[in-house]
């Protein structure tokens, strides 16, 4: 079944909420819940796949393999973190083609210097505007279908909001489909971003991060079309695991575990075991 194009979903005045997915279990859970889009978080994917911080340590190969695995099993379009494009202009073209071939509904590219860092952490530096404009133009040229190009600027934290807005405008002119001004720090800044552009806008909601968490209706009225919640899943799962593992460590038992748990058989069915059981029945020896 062909997935619905993200391009067809985006329109002014209506917000799409996309949960962060970071491994195949989180993807399977989110995919069955009826979201219009999912967001493959770089932070969570690098952490779950490599056990490392999101600081430019994952390679293109690491990430495109995750894109391919998640998109192949998802019925929901996935927005995929492409970091800085993993190098120069030729690398950007290769990354865009690879992500598109792997099934990404959108690729996010950012204007950080390499090695990049998570957008809600300190110490980020950005490349010259002209260099990122060239990356966006190459990305647009490299794609062959309707995969969206999301242009992210990390300039707000170190250079201020006005510079971030100037960069986003340049990236729009270069052909980006969606604009992403990372980590605005107040409701007023969010409103200013929303009032500045006609292109679809993405807002990154990181619980306890730099950007205020606002109700969806407020974000819609500001003009945002996409809200990603990259950390919601792994922060929730991390807390639940700490609780469950801590209880096991203290008591040497899972009895009276205080962490909520899924039912084992229901979880197994979600992971596809019913098809395995059906196969075994159909091919059982007489």
User: Residue 51 is inside which H or E element, if any?
Assistant: none
pLDDT digits (tens, 9 = 90+) for 96-141: 999 999 999 999 999 998 877 775 666 689 999 999 999 999 999 9
Radius of gyration of the chain (CA): 20
- CA angle centred on 60, ends 171 and 65, rounded to 5°: 120
Q: What is the pLDDT of residue 4?
A: 74
Domain boundaries, the chain: 6-237
* Six-digit token string for 239: 């807390």
Q: What is the pLDDT of residue 40?
A: 98
pTM: 0.94
Looking up tokens 């219009």, which residue turns up?
36
* Six-digit token string for 133: 């404009």
Q: What is the pLDDT of residue 286?
A: 58
pLDDT beneath 50: ranges in the chain: none
Q: How does DSSP classify residue 272?
A: T
Cβ-Cβ contacts under 8 Å for 244 (sequence gap 6 or more): 254, 257, 258, 259, 261
Sign of CA dihedral 33, 276, 45, 175: negative
Write the class of the CATH domain 6-237.
Answer: alpha beta
- What residues pair up with 16 in beta bridges, in sequence order? 226
Looking up tokens 């058989």, which residue turns up?
265
């Amino acid at each position: 079944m062909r997935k619905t194009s993200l391009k067809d979903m985006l329109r002014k005045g209506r917000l799409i909420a996309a949960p962060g997915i970071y491994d195949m279990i989180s993807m399977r859970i989110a995919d069955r819940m009826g979201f219009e889009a999912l967001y493959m978080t770089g932070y969570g994917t690098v952490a779950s796949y490599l056990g490392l911080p999101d600081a430019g340590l994952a390679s293109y190969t690491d990430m495109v393999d995750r894109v391919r695995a998640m998109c192949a099993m998802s019925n929901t379009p996935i927005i995929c973190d492409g970091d800085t494009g993993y190098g120069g202009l030729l690398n950007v073209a290769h990354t865009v083609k690879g992500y598109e071939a792997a099934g990404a509904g959108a690729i996010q590219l950012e204007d950080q210097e390499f090695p990049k860092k998570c957008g809600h952490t300190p110490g980020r530096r950005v490349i010259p505007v002209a260099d990122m404009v060239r990356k966006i133009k190459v990305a647009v040229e490299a794609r062959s279908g309707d995969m969206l190009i999301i242009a992210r600027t990390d300039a707000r934290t170190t250079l201020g909001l006005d510079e971030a807005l100037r960069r986003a405008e340049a990236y729009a002119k270069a052909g980006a489909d969606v604009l992403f001004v990372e980590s605005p720090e107040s409701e007023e800044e969010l409103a200013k971003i929303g009032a500045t552009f006609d292109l679809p806008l993405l807002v990154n909601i990181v619980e306890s991060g730099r950007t205020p968490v606002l109700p969806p209706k407020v974000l819609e009225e500001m003009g945002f079309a996409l809200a990603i919640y990259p950390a919601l899943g792994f922060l929730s799962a991390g807390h639940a695991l700490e609780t469950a593992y801590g209880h096991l460590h203290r008591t040497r038992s899972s009895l009276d575990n205080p962490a909520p748990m899924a039912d084992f058989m229901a979880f197994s069915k979600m992971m596809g075991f019913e098809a395995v059981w059906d196969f075994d029945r159909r091919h059982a020896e007489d």
